[in-house]
């Protein structure tokens, strides 16, 4: 009797193990609307018929940042065009992306695959070489192939503008930055932010705290509180939660003002009294541009080697690309009105513009960055690195490739670019 | 420097609180002779159910209550397997951990990314909270932190100074003798394991309702395993559990505080686990002295027939 019980128990344990393994696999479930029953997908892909675009996300679509913004873009194009169907996989581990791409191409018959994390870069390139008749677009990387283009809506100009505000608002002269992973995108953002901070306040420093996670509210909170404990009174961040904004609002509410900048999604609601501005993105119009061009035959699997969407305030490097990035903590609110007077009161002396308030300078810079005749760039020399050595010669600018592979911090940043 | 230490201590206490609850519960479970390696699974289930209930009802208290119930029920699975069926406690506990991690990911799906509306707020203690330095350091936490601290002397007292405690310890040391004296061994063990599960559930809920406050898949991130190690570190004594929990909370917090000083964050990421191994190593040496060793009947199922 006892033995039977034990056997039964072992069986139950094994069952539990299997069950938990199934539950633990991070959400391979494609979109609910994925129409498994539609037959044409099984046939030869054809430009005239339905185009299927599949998205591989690094985080959950319910985050308040990066992945959610991509999914908003996906839903926008999916709703707008009848000839388009989409599917997605969320929370895909970077090491597992190859398997997911294979599944999308082979089983789901996706014609176009978008991979939306820097860590997916090499797997996407390998897949592009493996499936030469499919289209691949990698977001935030720099490697391309005849059938693989790159896309980015880059925030470095916005971070620079946010930096100007942070430099003007800090009282302690210490600004903090909660950063997810040490990759070129973040280094570029931190540098641009620091360039803005130092333009408004040459003595100020930007202290960086790496949390090694894209989505971990507890770590983001610990990092933000550690920075505040070090005397930081303005916080910016690149990771996918609204935690930093919430922490700043908590401190502000209890009488120790800490200001913050939203990232990726409208976060004004989390920090009505402390959120100054932020960076916003509209992926939908970039995806729309790419997918309609594939649909119309402008893009083929032979000519993507030079297609690099580099979404900036000017519309970016791809001429005629739509503007996908916006300044603000909420759409249509570039700067929280509560901070307007403070930003107008701080004045600096610009070698070209003369005495100008930070508030006016911000809008002047936006104009200059949008104007194709000026194309102001924050990464224009002379710029020193952390050790004080001249890194960018006077008048020289970083190329897109240099910006995409940047791995050093500018003067004034405290922390390691390669921790 | 003083300010740095004060700020770190101030941050270490809430960081150690989930560990404290988990460890206090596991101390009781193991005192009864049942090792439960399912702490991680019970904590994460507590985190997800606590968050779900707090978010839907708008009450943090109900969330914590729900987490305690869920943790307790999960522990009963382990209790049934290890006490009634007398299967290997290690296997059953591991299964519970994996089960919890899996199910929590599944049911937590729709709560990912939601900021919690009903977060636990710090309580203001008139007089004490207004003290200079000390007020800021010790009297600006939410209710669960204080409750955790108050549980330490209470659970210590029960364990060493009351009949219940003697019964519990005797079951863990020598179940046959306890049985001969008329103690219902199975009942005592069931109760202790269920209590352990409830405490682990509360610990998890503290993470999602007060600390983060948010739900993320896998958010306990090994806290349950640290609890298992802390139980040994504490030598099955609630008082040392308090010390250990705050110490480990401090290590976690230091990851972010030492980074600006140039200490590699990768190294700091490893610290809690290096410390865990160190603790296990050191305490195994102590256990060898027998005097303060593990409950003698730990990990052995009790059956009257085999007496």
DSSP assignments along B122-184, one per residue: BPP-TTGGGSTTHHHHHS-SBHHHHHHHHHHHHHHHHHHHSHHHHHHHHHHH-HHHHHHTT--
Answer whether A207's CB lies under 8 Å from B260's CB. yes
Cis upstream peptide for A355 (omega within 30°) = no
* Residues A180 and A266 occupy one common structural domain: yes
| Among chain B residues, CA nearest to A269 | B115
The span from the CA of B191 to the CA of B32, in Å, is 9
* Residues A290 and A271 occupy one common structural domain: no
The confidence score (pLDDT) of residue B222 equals: 84
For range A367-373, the mean pLDDT: 84
Residue B269 belongs to domain spanning: 2-306
Q: Residue B217 in 3-state DSSP?
A: coil
Is A419 domain-assigned? Answer: no
Per-residue pLDDT band for B303 (boundaries 50, 70, 90) equals: confident
Question: Given an 8 Å threshold on Cβ–Cβ distance, is B256 in contact with A219?
Answer: yes
Of A16-30, A173-187, B165-179, B257-271, the one with minimum mean pLDDT is: A16-30
The confidence score (pLDDT) of residue A210 equals: 93
Count of alpha carbons within 13 Å of A162, Cβ hemisphere only?
A: 35
Q: How far is B43 from chain A (nearest CA, A)?
A: 15
Q: What is the dihedral of CA A170, A172, A178, A181, to 10 degrees?
A: 100
Q: Quick: pLDDT tens for A71-126.
A: 999 999 999 999 999 999 988 988 889 999 999 999 999 999 999 998 999 999 99
* Residues A91 and A212 occupy one common structural domain: no
End-to-end CA distance of chain B: 60
Q: What angle do CA A251, A257, A263 make, to 5 degrees?
A: 75
Return the closest-CA partner of residue A163 out of A65, A252, A278: A278
The confidence score (pLDDT) of residue A65 equals: 77
In chain B, the number of structural domains is 1
Of A403-407, B203-207, B235-239, B303-307, the one with minimum mean pLDDT is: B303-307
* Residues A144 and A274 occupy one common structural domain: no
Q: Quick: pLDDT tens for B111-121.
A: 877 778 888 88
Q: Quick: pLDDT tens for A337-349.
A: 999 999 999 999 9
The CATH number for B219's domain is: 1.10.3470
What's chain B's average pLDDT?
88
The confidence score (pLDDT) of residue A7 equals: 57
For range B271-300, the mean pLDDT: 73
Answer whether A205's CB lies under 8 Å from A414's CB. yes
Strands A354-357 and A347-350: antiparallel
Per-residue pLDDT band for A63 (boundaries 50, 70, 90) equals: confident
The confidence score (pLDDT) of residue A126 equals: 95
Strand partners for A179 = A210, A238
The confidence score (pLDDT) of residue B103 equals: 94
* Residues A236 and A180 occupy one common structural domain: yes
* Residues A209 and A252 occupy one common structural domain: yes
Q: Which residues of B touch A216 (CB under 8 A)?
A: 216, 219
Instruction: Tell which wins on pLDDT, A39 or A278.
Output: A278
- Percent of chain A with pLDDT strictly greater than 70: 87
DSSP assignments along A141-163, one per residue: ----BTTEEEEEE--HHHHHHHH
Answer whether B96's CB lies under 8 Å from B38's CB. yes
On the question of pLDDT at A15 being above 60, the answer is no
Strands A148-153 and A308-311: parallel
User: Which of A10, A20, A224 to mutate: most B Cβ within 10 Å?
Assistant: A20
CA distances from B12 to A253, B222, B242, B244 (A): 22, 17, 12, 11
The span from the CA of A75 to the CA of A282, in Å, is 12
The confidence score (pLDDT) of residue B306 equals: 66
Answer whether A410's CB lies under 8 Å from A383's CB. yes
* Residues A184 and A305 occupy one common structural domain: no
Is A31 domain-assigned? Answer: no
Residue A147 belongs to domain spanning: 48-153+283-311
* Residues A338 and A209 occupy one common structural domain: yes
* Residues A287 and A378 occupy one common structural domain: no
For range B187-201, the mean pLDDT: 97
On the question of pLDDT at A42 being above 50, the answer is no
* Residues A106 and A240 occupy one common structural domain: no
CA distances from A320 to A293, A375, A377 (A): 12, 15, 19
On the question of pLDDT at A34 being above 50, the answer is no
On the question of pLDDT at A30 being above 50, the answer is no
On the question of pLDDT at A2 being above 60, the answer is no
The CATH number for A244's domain is: 3.40.50.2300
How far is CA A288 from its chain centroid?
A: 18
The confidence score (pLDDT) of residue B286 equals: 61
Facing residue for A63 by CB, picked from B7, B91, B113: B113
* Residues A206 and A331 occupy one common structural domain: yes
Answer whether B248's CB lies under 8 Å from B275's CB. yes
Is A30 domain-assigned? Answer: no
Per-residue pLDDT band for B129 (boundaries 50, 70, 90) equals: confident
On the question of pLDDT at B15 being above 80, the answer is yes
| H or E stretch covering B79 | helix B60-79
Strands A234-238 and A84-89: unpaired
Q: Which residues of B touch A27 (CB under 8 A)?
A: 105, 109
Instruction: Tell which wins on pLDDT, B41 or A23.
Output: B41
Is A20 domain-assigned? Answer: no
The span from the CA of A376 to the CA of A165, in Å, is 18
The span from the CA of A359 to the CA of A347, in Å, is 9
Q: How far is A40 from chain B (nearest CA, A)?
A: 32
Strands A234-238 and A259-264: parallel
Facing residue for B112 by CB, picked from A60, A270, A415: A60
| H or E stretch covering A390 | strand A390-392
For range B180-200, the mean pLDDT: 96
On the question of pLDDT at B75 being above 60, the answer is yes
Count of alpha carbons within 13 Å of A87, Cβ hemisphere only?
A: 23
Return the closest-CA partner of residue B208 out of B221, B198, B195, B225: B221
Is A357 domain-assigned? Answer: yes
Is A24 domain-assigned? Answer: no
Per-residue pLDDT band for A61 (boundaries 50, 70, 90) equals: confident
In chain A, the number of structural domains is 2
The confidence score (pLDDT) of residue A45 equals: 47
ipTM: 0.74
């Amino acid at each position: 009797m006892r033995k039977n019980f034990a056997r039964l128990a072992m069986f139950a344990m094994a069952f539990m193990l299997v069950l938990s393994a199934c539950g633990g696999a991070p959400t391979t479930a494609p979109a609910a609307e994925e129409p498994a029953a539609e037959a044409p997908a099984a046939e030869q892909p054809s430009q005239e018929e339905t185009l299927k675009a599949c998205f591989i996300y690094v985080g959950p679509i319910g985050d308040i940042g990066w992945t959610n913004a991509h999914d908003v873009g996906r839903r926008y194009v999916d709703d707008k065009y009848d000839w388009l169907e989409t599917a997605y996989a969320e929370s895909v581990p970077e090491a597992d992306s190859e398997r997911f791409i294979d599944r999308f191409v082979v089983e789901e018959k996706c014609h176009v695959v978008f991979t939306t994390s820097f860590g997916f870069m090499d797997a996407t390139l390998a897949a592009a070489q493996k499936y030469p008749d499919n289209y691949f677009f990698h977001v935030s990387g720099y490697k391309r192939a005849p059938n693989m283009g790159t896309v980015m809506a880059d925030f470095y100009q916005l971070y620079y503008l946010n930096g100007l505000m942070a430099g003007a608002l800090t009282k302690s002269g210490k600004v903090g930055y909660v950063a997810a992973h040490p990759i070129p995108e973040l280094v570029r953002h931190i540098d641009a932010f620091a360039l803005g901070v130092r333009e408004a306040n040459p003595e100020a420093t930007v202290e960086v705290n790496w949390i090694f996670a894209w989505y971990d509210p507890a770590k983001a909170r610990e990092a933000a509180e550690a920075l505040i404990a070090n005397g930081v009174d303005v916080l910016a961040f690149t990771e996918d939660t609204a935690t930093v904004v919430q922490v700043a609002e908590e401190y502000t509410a209890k009488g120790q003002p800490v200001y913050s900048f939203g990232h990726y999604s409208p976060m004004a609601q989390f920090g009505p009294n402390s959120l100054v501005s932020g960076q916003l993105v509209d992926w939908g119009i970039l995806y729309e541009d790419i997918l309609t061009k594939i649909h119309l035959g402008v893009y083929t699997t032979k000519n993507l080697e030079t297609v690099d969407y580099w979404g900036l305030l000017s519309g970016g490097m791809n001429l005629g690309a739509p503007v996908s990035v916006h300044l603000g903590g909420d759409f249509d609110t570039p700067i929280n009105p509560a901070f307007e007077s403070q930003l107008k009161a701080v004045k600096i002396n610009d070698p070209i513009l003369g005495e100008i308030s930070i508030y006016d300078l911000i809008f002047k810079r936006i104009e200059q960055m949008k104007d194709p005749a000026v194309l102001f760039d924050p990464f224009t020399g002379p710029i020193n690195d952390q050790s004080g050595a001249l890194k960018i010669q006077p008048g020289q600018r970083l190329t897109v490739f240099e910006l995409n592979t940047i791995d050093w911090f500018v003067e004034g940043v405290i922390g390691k670019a390669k921790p | 420097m003083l300010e740095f230490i004060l700020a770190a201590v101030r941050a270490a206490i809430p960081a150690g609180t989930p560990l404290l609850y988990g460890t206090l519960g596991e101390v009781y479970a193991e005192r009864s002779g049942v090792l439960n390696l399912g702490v991680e699974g019970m904590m994460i289930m507590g985190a997800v159910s606590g968050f779900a209930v707090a978010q839907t009802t708008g009450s943090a208290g109900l969330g914590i209550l729900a987490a305690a119930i869920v943790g307790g029920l999960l522990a009963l699975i382990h209790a049934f397997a290890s006490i009634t069926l007398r299967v290997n406690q290690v296997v059953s506990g591991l299964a519970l951990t994996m089960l919890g991690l899996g199910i929590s990911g599944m049911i937590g799906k729709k709560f990912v990314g939601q900021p919690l509306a009903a977060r636990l707020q710090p309580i203001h203690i008139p007089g004490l909270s207004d003290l200079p330095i000390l007020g800021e350091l010790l009297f600006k936490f939410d209710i669960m932190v204080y409750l955790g601290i108050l549980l330490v002397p209470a659970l210590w007292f029960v364990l060493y100074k009351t009949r219940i405690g003697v019964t519990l310890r005797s079951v863990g040391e020598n179940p046959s003798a306890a049985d001969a004296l008329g103690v219902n061994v199975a009942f005592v063990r069931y109760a202790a394991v269920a209590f352990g599960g409830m405490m682990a559930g509360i610990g998890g809920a503290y993470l999602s309702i007060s600390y983060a406050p948010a739900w993320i898949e896998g958010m306990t991130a090994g806290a349950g395993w640290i609890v298992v190690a802390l139980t040994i570190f504490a030598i099955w004594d609630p008082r040392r559990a308090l010390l250990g929990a705050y110490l480990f909370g401090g290590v976690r917090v230091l990851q972010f505080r030492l980074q600006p000083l140039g200490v590699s964050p990768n190294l700091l990421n490893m610290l809690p686990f290096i410390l865990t191994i160190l603790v296990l190593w050191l305490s195994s040496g102590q256990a060898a002295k027998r005097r303060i060793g593990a409950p003698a009947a730990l990990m052995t199922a009790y059956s009257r027939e085999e007496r």
